[in-house]
Structure 1
Amino acid sequence: MNTVKEQMAEVINDQPLDASYEEIMRELAFQRMINRGMEDSREQRTLSNEEIERRIQSWQQ
Structure 2
Amino acid sequence: MKSNVRLSGRAKAVSKNIDGKTQAAAGNITGDLKDLAAGKAKQAESQVRNTVEDVKAQVQNLFN
Q: TM-score, normalised by structure 2?
A: 0.44
- Structure possessing the higher radius of gyration over alpha carbons: 1
Bigger proportion of residues as helix = 2
Q: TM-score, normalised by structure 1?
A: 0.46
